[in-house]
Amino acid sequence: MQRPTTGNPTTVGIIPARWNSSRFPGKPLHLIAGKSLLERVYERCASCPTLDAVLVATDDDRIAEAASAFGAHVAMTRSDHLSGTDRIAEVAEQLPDNTMIVNIQGDEPLISPDLIGQLAECLRSPTAAGIVTAAGIITDETEIADPNVVKVVVDAAGDALYFSRSPLPFRRHPDVDLPTLRHHGIYAFRRDALLRFVAAEPSLLERTEGLEQLRALHIGERIHVVLTAEASIGIDTPEQANRFETTLQDAKNSNHPVT
């Protein structure tokens, strides 16, 4: 496993990857225009100058072998993790105490290197929140009612007050000009905050909404929310992968590459 240098605080990007997915088994190694989904994500992370190291965390030998072949550093983990956050926490336990961890979804091939860096930079202040994530303004009204789109509300300092799959906030007075924010599933953690989070029991709110970040709020962790216009495409099914490949090909043919 590649280890960050000691001394100054270091920032490590970790991409959790597993083979077994109910909707898309083998998703990390699915080829999209000649490259695996995992390799595309890794390349975006590797181009972020804020990260001192990028690791792939997996329990699967096939993923580990493929990641090593395209130049990634691999951390092998246990196979009993219930979430990607649990998987990266196992890796974080082996890293220096002053390390900051960015948990990067392995199914977003257009993840923004700039956004990764922005989240990491937010952790560098001694008074910063222990967890940083991102959100953007919803422009499609149908997404507000979509339970697959997670919403977040923040306080005056930009820290999360609550996350929900329901419309948030409820618009009793629709004339109030308050945008609805869509949560993006990327997190940057201080190492100690990450380990506190995974050590805690799932809260009732987490179990009710199916959102693990509510556990962090339940135990009193601050989650700072960076507002961004970046919108990354998540690949959850083979059909979505095929559509994304078509988008890439169309962009290539029109000389307008997808960025």
Show the tokens assigned to 97.
Answer: 């105490």
pLDDT per residue as tens digits for the range 47-63: 999 999 999 999 999 99
Cα torsion for 197, 25, 258, 145, to the nearest 10°? -60
CA-to-CA distance for 85 and 24, rounded, in angstroms? 19
52: left (phi over 0), alpha (psi -120 to 50) or beta: alpha
Q: Which CATH architecture has domain 11-237?
A: Alpha-Beta Complex (3.90)
**How much is the pTM?**
0.90
Per the structure block, which two tokens stand in for 127?
A: 């008074």
Average pLDDT, the chain: 90
Residue 236 binned pLDDT confidence (cut-offs 50, 70, 90): confident
Residue ranges covered by each domain of the chain: 11-237
The per-residue pLDDT for range 241-255, each reduced to its tens digit, is 888 888 887 766 776
Tokens of 8: 């100054």
**Tens-digit pLDDT profile for residues 78-124:** 999 999 999 999 999 988 766 899 999 988 998 999 999 999 999 88
Task: With beta carbons less than 8 A apart as the criterion, state whether 54 and 103 touch.
Answer: no
CA 248 from centroid of its chain's CA atoms: 22
